[in-house]
Amino acid sequence: MTDEIKHKAMKEIRDEVLALTISPLYEYRQENGYYPVVGEGSHDAEVVFIGEAPGKNEAKTARPFCGAAGKILDELLSTIALERSQIYITNIVKDRPPENRDPTPHEIALYAPYLDRQIEIIQPKVIATLGRFSMLYILQKYKADECFQTIGELHGKAVKVRTSYGHIWVLPLYHPAAAIYNQALKSTLKDDFLKLKELLERV
């Protein structure tokens, strides 16, 4: 797939999400002057990071991970010499849920096909899930045996899955937001990012 075709396909996803009036989050978006957060980064990225849903800062700017959790993510990326321009980062749910509540199963089901298309366009070698919702969705999507395990059991452990374009690795990680008030978890995330670095070096 050429860069031009990838760009066009991503633009189609963005336009469709913008016009997603059937979403239960659409009215909330309009009332607050928010934007959907479709994703950002390289369309040729070896690693795609997938969060859960955008927060307030993200919905105001249409950029993923630009608030407090984003600062932690940037710090973690710098520890393994990765820049945002080298990765792609997105969420399952593209609109902000009220009060930053967890996304509902209905919302995940509605927005997930757009994520599926993004993965097919980029065809990463590694998917790094951020938080339990994205971990569960991706592991179930690719029918991994590990889909019944918790993020506490799976964080930092690479899971091999089969996609339409070949085998790739899924690396479950804690969500950076969880480390804002928990320094111990931040240390765990740093260790897990080192595992991501090792994984990228061998794929």
| DSSP 8-state class, residue 45 | -
Q: pLDDT digits over 35-53, tens only?
A: 999 999 999 999 999 999 9
Q: Which residues of 158-176 are buried (b: 16+ CB within 10 A; e: fewer)?
A: bbebeeeeeebbbbbbbbb
Domain boundaries, the chain: 3-202
Residue 100 C-beta-side C-alpha neighbours within 13 Å: 9
Q: What is the pLDDT of residue 1?
A: 84
Alpha carbons 195 and 113: distance in angstroms, whole number: 29
Structure tokens at 157: 């452990």
Class (C level, CATH) for 3-202: alpha beta
Alpha carbons 11 and 34: distance in angstroms, whole number: 19
Give this prediction's pTM. 0.96
- Of the chain, the percentage scoring pLDDT greater than 90 comes to 96
Q: What is the pLDDT of residue 100?
A: 87
- Does residue 181 surpass a pLDDT of 90? no
Q: pLDDT digits over 81-95, tens only?
A: 999 999 999 999 999
